[in-house]
Amino acid sequence: MTKGRIFSGMQPSGKFHLGNYFGALDNWVKLQKEYECFFSIVDWHALTSSFEDTSRLPEYIHDMALDWLSAGLDPEKNVIFVQSQVKEHAELHLLLSMITPLSWLERVPTYKDKLIQLGSQGKDINTYGFLGYPELMTADIILYKADTVPVGEDQVPHLELTREILRRFNYLYQPIFPEPKPYLSKASLLPGIDGRKMSKSYGNEISFSANPDELRSRVMLMITDPQRVKKSDPGHPEVCTVFSFHKLFNSGEISKVSEDCRNASVGCVQCKKMLAEKMVDMLADVHARRRELENNPGRVREILAYGAERARKVAAATMEEVRAAMHLA
Ligand code: TRP
């Protein structure tokens, strides 16, 4: 018996870092034990805002699969697949687009925000596809009749729209779809190495695929308490990036780390070295799994093909019902 059925997805954008792991993927790794899960690499969603140069998409998809599998998502237990390999997503998206008023899509808060934000970066995404982003997300979720959708806070308006669209479907044709609820992941507590929000666009990220040496050198670059110039100066852990990382990777010794900083008995270099080794230890299994898969690229392709096959079975059954309900059978 499971608690229910989960669907969630991530866009393959080639940017997966530790900040993305803590707050999203770590949650999935836990949820896979309790729910029946469908996890999709949503490559069509990636096209909604990056359609001009698609040449690196295959690489990003492969990398994302590596990230997920090395994090410990089990491809037997969960259905792990690439969205574009299951064409039913496109068919359901098309049919839902017929019953969705334009105004519902236009009033989604993320729509105008992102249009302006990307517009200011010189990116024009005044496209049909971008407006339909939450429509495609709706198709993803209800194709599998998922009841639980782990997402970040920013995705909640999309899920509200999902419920409105499926209610309209259920009302107009036949009550096929259950209403899904969000399962909110907590915002990531990890800052970037400069203390700002971790983001590849700031260049302050630590890649989820970083090997032990890369981890060590990124930790050494972290910004510490600017008021602690000499080792003998007492530090303020609450403003220190290294300390934020200790909270996650070294929670068992956190009060000692804090005291040693405040009374200046441990210097920043030593404190960073301790952190780096904790991170290397905690990510050792992740690295081992990644190395194994990197040596066997055919295996990743097999896993995704197997996932797509399993997803297609469920999706095809739902589409039979949808077509029958709409007299398209
Ligand atoms: N929009 C989601 C995000 O950017 C990704 C996504 C696509 C998704 N389809 C989904 C999430 C379906 C949950 C369910 O985070």
pLDDT digits (tens, 9 = 90+) for 56-72: 999 999 999 999 999 99
What's the confidence (pLDDT) of residue 125?
A: 84
| Measured CA angle at 215 (ends 211, 217), to 5 deg | 120
Residue 8: pLDDT band (50, 70, 90) is: very high
272-to-21, 245, 292 alpha-carbon distances in Å: 21, 10, 29
Q: How many residues does the chain have?
A: 329
What is the C-alpha to C-alpha distance for residues 85 and 283, in angstroms, rounded to an integer? 31
What is the C-alpha to C-alpha distance for residues 235 and 195, in angstroms, rounded to an integer? 16
* Chain segment 170-184, per-residue pLDDT in tens: 999 999 999 999 999
Q: Structure tokens of 228? A: 């602690």
Strand partners, 207: 17
Backbone angles phi, psi at 228, to 5 degrees: -95, 90
* Average pLDDT for 227-252: 93
23: exposed, middle or buried (C-beta count within 10 Å: 0-12, 13-18, 19+)? middle
Q: Structure tokens of 200? A: 């590849």
Strand partners, 250: none
152 CA: nearest ligand 1 atom: 15
Q: Which of 29-33, 160-164, 184-188, 233-237 has the lowest mean pLDDT?
A: 184-188
Helix (H, G, I), strand (E, B) or coil at 122: coil
The answer on pLDDT for 76 being more than 80 is yes
DSSP-derived secondary structure letter, 256: H
250-to-30, 72, 162, 243 alpha-carbon distances in Å: 20, 21, 40, 9
220-to-125, 190, 213, 256, 268 alpha-carbon distances in Å: 39, 16, 11, 20, 9
What's the confidence (pLDDT) of residue 269?
A: 95
The answer on pLDDT for 34 being more than 90 is yes
| Measured CA angle at 31 (ends 9, 310), to 5 deg | 55
- Beta strand pairing call for 36-41 and 79-82: parallel
What is the C-alpha to C-alpha distance for residues 110 and 117, in angstroms, rounded to an integer? 10
Residue showing tokens 């499926």? 166
* Average pLDDT for 133-156: 96
Percent of the chain whose predicted confidence (pLDDT) is above 70? 100
Domains of the chain from N-terminus onward: 5-190+296-325 (3.40.50.620), 210-285 (1.10.240.10)
What pTM does this model have?
0.93
User: Ligand 1: which of 42, 145, 147, 148 to mutate, most ligand atoms within 8 Å of CB?
Assistant: 42
* Chain segment 107-122, per-residue pLDDT in tens: 998 888 888 888 888 8
Residue showing tokens 């699969």? 65
* Average pLDDT for 48-54: 90
Angle, helices 156-172 vs 88-99, to 10°: value is 80
User: Ligand 1: which of 137, 138, 162 to mutate, most ligand atoms within 8 Å of CB?
Assistant: 137
Which residues have C-beta atoms less than 6 Å from ligand 1? 7-11, 42, 45, 137, 140-141, 149, 151, 155
Residue showing tokens 């069509």? 44
Q: How far apart are the first and last CA of the chain?
A: 33
What's the confidence (pLDDT) of residue 321?
A: 98
Dihedral, 56, 312, 10, 64 alpha carbons, nearest 10: -50
Q: Give the strand order in the sheet containing 5-10.
A: 79-82, 36-41, 5-10, 148-151, 181-184
CA of 311 to the centre of ligand 1 (A): 16
CA of 143 to the centre of ligand 1 (A): 14
